[in-house]
Amino acid sequence: MKKSKNKTHTAFKKDQPSTGDSDGQMDKETGDELVLRTTKWDKHTVRVLCMLKGKLRSEKAELGDDDSEKPSQLSYNKLSAGCSRRVAAGVFSEMLQLKTWDFVELNQDKSYGDIMVSPGGVGTSVSPYVAMCQKIFEEAGLVHSMHGYGTNVEGEWEAVMSAVKRCHEDLHAAGAVRITSHMKVGTRVDRAQTMADKVASVQEKMIAK
């Protein structure tokens, strides 16, 4: 965050760390498009997510209309059947990572029993929630600029923090069970400078060269 004498600039985002190492034998989809949209993820995590999404959709379709309200589940024993121990362990490691981000739920009824995989959290698309936050920033009268990995926000400290708090409250009310916000906060007291000023300064130097 950057701040002039009375302006606070915030970089507000939901971050997804990269982790995991598995083999590609269980891949049914490459997930190239998802990789492009989530380049901070490890490619193996993305591929496992794509594979699970595809299988969950297939499982859901097989349930039929009468069971449409029932959550689909996958058996880890079936998922890992025919795979090497290295591949099975790698995929399970990625599923644990996806579990920490609420993309899937993992349940095991008894020790050494089968592990059931089901959808979790709000799913893979967070664009509706991002749109809600953009509207909150607009309603708060804050200068804001959305980019691929977050939103830059400029305004008075209290106004910015109040808007961030409202983002959490409204997203929880909309069904998001767990939210993590990563913010970089900057303040400046030697002179007034807006986000637009900083961008213009860099652009001027690029033109000069």
More confident residue, 102 or 133: 133
Residue 102 pLDDT greater than 90, yes or no: no
Q: Domain of 71?
A: 32-100
Same domain, 143 and 195: yes
Q: How far is CA 103 from CA 30, 35, 37, 194, in A?
A: 18, 16, 16, 37
Q: How far is CA 200 from CA 79, 154, 156, 196, 206, in A?
A: 53, 16, 22, 6, 10
Residue 116 lies in a domain: no
- The per-residue DSSP string of 18-79 comes to ------STT-SS--HHHHHH-TTS-HHHHHHHHHHHHHHHHHHHHH-GGGTTSPP-EEHHHH
- The per-residue DSSP string of 153-181 comes to EEE-HHHHHHHHHHHHHHHHHTT------
Residue 47 lies in a domain: yes
**Confidence bin at 25 (pLDDT 50/70/90):** very low
Same domain, 188 and 140: yes
Number of domains in the chain: 2
Q: What is the mean pLDDT of the chain?
A: 75
pLDDT tens readout for residues 135-168: 999 999 999 999 887 899 999 999 999 999 999 9
Residue 147 lies in a domain: yes
pLDDT tens readout for residues 173-189: 887 777 878 888 888 89
* pLDDT given for residue 13 in this prediction: 52
Same domain, 130 and 92: no
**Residue 190 DSSP symbol:** S
Residue 29 pLDDT greater than 70, yes or no: no
* pLDDT given for residue 155 in this prediction: 92
